[in-house]
Chain A
Amino acid sequence: MHRLATVFEELAAQDRKAFVTFITAGDPDTATSLEILKGLPGAGADVIELGMPFSDPMADGPAIQRASLRALHAGQDMHKTLAMVRAFRETNKTTPIVLMGYYNPIYVYPVDSFLADAVEAGVDGLIVVDAPPEADDELCIPAMNAGLNFVRLTTPTTDDHRLGAVLANTSGFVYYVSITGVTGTRAPDLEAVAKNVARIKARTTLPVAVGFGVRTPEQAKSIASVADGVVVGSALVDTIAQSLDDKGRATELTVSSVLTLVEKLSAGLKAA
């Protein structure tokens, strides 16, 4: 069975919610980022979203934009991102890793070799922000054929009519974007989230994770009460940014401060 399905099933059996953490691969440098990555499961992450840095992250707010640029300036590229996953898998066989990013770096890799390399490295799924269902034949279907889950974003603007198309080829889990906006900018409204998650769950048996505006343990807890999982990204990435020295380099605080926040968020969520 796929790692994502296994994790969500195990959590459901224990009546627990999935804590999904997002960091950008290579932020602030490949070695530090790998250390954070390896520490995430121990700090409470059930699923890891690993951002593939892109020069033009159109759906992201300032925090993740800057994380992408830090990683790129430090020399991160797709090959290094896949190498991080490979290194992670040497010691962790169970925590699912979903690569999240934009289509262009995959397109020029190109697609077929990328999918093969991702599977070989131990990637479980993909979230590609700018590859809508309309482009399924060129990315989503080949990814599923290669054995990867393709996790789709649904948003407050996805009406009932579109929801069918969006869910059609989704696998692993459904990512509900809790706000109309870019990552990390607004706080989600719990009532609206609850309503929309219910709307999605009426149409699919897949678990639904909610993200884009969740920053605090309290928010994580309340969102978890209405969904199967909670995604936190910008808050982690901001913590990385705050730990850097004035030249933007990692300090001894970088890894520990992120993992401490992950522990706090995880504790908040488990109290749900």
Chain B
Amino acid sequence: MDPIAETPLHLNSYRTGPDERGHFGLYGGRFVAETLMPLILELEAAYEAAKIDPAFHAELADLNAHYAGRPSPLYFAERLTQHLGGAKVYFKREELNHTGSHKVNNCLGQILLAKRMGKKRIIAETGAGQHGVATATVAARFGLPCVIYMGATDIERQKPNVFRMRLLGAEVRPVISGTGTLKDAMNEALRDWVSNVEDTFYIIGTVAGPHPYPAMVRDFQAVIGQETREQMLAAEGRLPDTLVAAIGGGSNAMGIFHPFLDDPSVKMFGVEAAGRGLDVPNGHCASLNGGKPGVLHGNRTYLLQDGDGQILEGHSISAGLDYPGIGPEHSWLRDTGRVTYVSATDREALDAFQLCTRIEGIIPALEPAHALAYVTKLAPTLPPDDLLVMNMSGRGDKDIFAVAGHLGMDI
């Protein structure tokens, strides 16, 4: 019954999932209420049709190029490399995308699908507000009304993004259930969807949720890894050796990892939020390092939960990593051993945030600051010819107030 134990360590391909029922090994699936089931099947059919339609890809490529500003640069972080002394560190500059993060890649794909399906209203959940901003942006661009669910706690710590969403014409609905963070916002978005099945398209912001979302969001984000591959070949004449990305729900990581999964020479590290420490009960958001398999938000995956199966809130300094689950494909990649999942604490992320700002003149979002924190540990242990790419998934303007608070500064 338990495929974990039987999974061979070396598969011929790590890129064939999910199966037709949305499973990545034990994980994934479609665990949703019956009201949503027909909608999810309809979405899957629409996505399968779009996937083989050259016109869909052409329109997305055009928007990616002229609206989002792709390709994003692959940048050699020379001063950081010197400072760390070890691997040659590159940043994949997703923070330079329109709206300031990788989230727009997925939103453009999904809104084109919504348009194809004739949907008239857009909803989304958001944690840090980056996905909310990206969704509000594409909704404005396509002239569709948009409702964003955001935990009341997150609204407090991400004020600039809340204002941006409102400027963009979105209605931001505060969610007070639970402790008012990302998982509660997702519950509320699902409740909205169940209640407005006819006209509403739910743009999920990460590689989680019921099938086909994990695969679909991954496909839209895979442009990150595809570009990285070409850019590294152009810059160095070979593939990168090491990839590092932060993990919230796992979309920026899946986007950069997926195109390289079948290149055995490429090592991959996903960095979870260790918050106040992995040993602090409910003090972190490391689902893979501190959780166990369960079923939430339509899929089976590693979850932070207590012995009774109640979901824990977790904690991270970064609102975008504050999610008690993780995309099901990551759970599978963890069990197969293809990707290594590590973690960084709040403190380490804050230190990396400041280091990057001072030494590279790039203010990272707190999410990729976690990835960077791990790079500062990993790079010095690697030889100088190791080509390391870190996914700089977003810019840190949204975080300056929170960071100032943590550093005890007034602004």
A56-B178, A56-B296, A106-B309 known; A162 vs B38 contact (CB < 8 Å): yes
A78 to B21, CA, bound (A): 29
A61 to B29, CA, bound (A): 24
Q: Does B235 contact A (CB under 8 A)?
A: no
A26 to chain B, nearest CB (A): 11
A56-B183, A180-B195, A181-B194 known; A132 vs B310 contact (CB < 8 Å): no
Q: Are B35 and A166 in contact (CB under 8 A)?
A: no
Q: Does B103 contact A (CB under 8 A)?
A: no
Interface residues of B in 176-213 (CB under 8 A from A): 177-178, 183-184, 187, 190-191, 194-197
Q: Are B37 and A162 in contact (CB under 8 A)?
A: yes
Q: Does A155 contact B (CB under 8 A)?
A: yes
Q: Are B305 and A132 in contact (CB under 8 A)?
A: no
Interface residues of B in 30-88 (CB under 8 A from A): 30-39
Interface size on B, residues (CB 8 A): 38
Q: Does B119 contact A (CB under 8 A)?
A: no
Question: Which one of A65, A104, A154, A162 lies within 8 Å of B177 (CB-CB)?
Answer: A65
Q: Does B295 contact A (CB under 8 A)?
A: yes
A65 to B176, CA, bound (A): 11
Q: Which chain A residues border B279 with CB–CB below 8 Å?
A: none
A73 to chain B, nearest CB (A): 11
B322 to chain A, nearest CB (A): 15
Q: Are A180 and B37 in contact (CB under 8 A)?
A: no
A131 to B33, CA, bound (A): 7
A78 — nearest CB in chain B belongs to which residue?
B308
Q: Are B31 and A108 in contact (CB under 8 A)?
A: no
A72 to B29, CA, bound (A): 27
Q: Are B33 and A59 in contact (CB under 8 A)?
A: yes
Interface residues of B in 285-330 (CB under 8 A from A): 292-298, 300, 303, 305, 307-311
A155 to B298, CA, bound (A): 18
Q: Does A242 contact B (CB under 8 A)?
A: no
A58-B190, A134-B29, A185-B195 known; A105 vs B310 contact (CB < 8 Å): yes
Q: Which chain B residues border A109 with CB–CB below 8 Å?
A: 309
Q: Are A132 and B37 in contact (CB under 8 A)?
A: yes
A54 — nearest CB in chain B belongs to which residue?
B310
Q: Which chain B residues border A105 with CB–CB below 8 Å?
A: 308-310
Q: Are A182 and B194 in contact (CB under 8 A)?
A: yes
Q: Are A157 and B197 in contact (CB under 8 A)?
A: yes
A108 — nearest CB in chain B belongs to which residue?
B309
Q: Are B187 and A130 in contact (CB under 8 A)?
A: no
Q: Which chain A residues border B311 with CB–CB below 8 Å?
A: 55-56, 104
Question: Which one of B29, B35, B38, B194 lies within 8 Å of A159 (CB-CB)?
Answer: B38
Question: Which one of B33, B178, B191, B195 lies within 8 Å of A153 (CB-CB)?
Answer: B33
Q: Are A132 and B194 in contact (CB under 8 A)?
A: no
B179 to chain A, nearest CB (A): 10
Cβ proximity bits A102-135 to B, threshold 8 Å, 1 near / 0 not: 1111111100000000000000000001111011
Identify whether the interface residues of A are mostly helix, strand, loop, or mixed: loop
Cβ proximity bits A169-213 to B, threshold 8 Å, 1 near / 0 not: 000000001001110011000000000000000000000000000
Q: Are B34 and A132 in contact (CB under 8 A)?
A: yes
A64 to chain B, nearest CB (A): 11
Q: Which chain B residues border A153 with CB–CB below 8 Å?
A: 33-35
A62 to B187, CA, bound (A): 12
B183 — nearest CB in chain A belongs to which residue?
A56
Interface residues of A in 218-247 (CB under 8 A from B): none
Q: Which chain B residues border A59 with CB–CB below 8 Å?
A: 33, 35, 191, 194
B21 — nearest CB in chain A belongs to which residue?
A134
B34, B35, B191, B307 pick with most chain A CB within 10 angstroms: B34
A78 to chain B, nearest CB (A): 6
Q: Are A134 and B294 in contact (CB under 8 A)?
A: no
A103 to B21, CA, bound (A): 18
Q: Which chain A residues border B191 with CB–CB below 8 Å?
A: 58-59, 61, 181-182
Q: Are A56 and B31 in contact (CB under 8 A)?
A: no
B310 — nearest CB in chain A belongs to which residue?
A55
A77 to B309, CA, bound (A): 9
B212 to chain A, nearest CB (A): 13
A60 — nearest CB in chain B belongs to which residue?
B191
A156 to B38, CA, bound (A): 10
A35 to B190, CA, bound (A): 34
Q: Are A166 and B194 in contact (CB under 8 A)?
A: no
Q: Are B38 and A132 in contact (CB under 8 A)?
A: no
Q: Does A152 contact B (CB under 8 A)?
A: yes
Pairs A–B under 8 Å by Cβ, sample size 23? A54-B310, A55-B310, A56-B183, A56-B184, A58-B187, A58-B191, A72-B310, A77-B308, A104-B295, A104-B296, A107-B295, A108-B309, A130-B32, A134-B30, A135-B31, A153-B33, A157-B34, A157-B37, A177-B35, A180-B197, A181-B35, A182-B195, A185-B195
Interface contacts beyond A104-B311, A132-B34, A152-B34: sample of 9 additional A-B pairs, CB < 8 Å, sorted by A: A54-B310, A55-B310, A56-B187, A77-B310, A104-B295, A135-B29, A157-B34, A177-B34, A181-B194
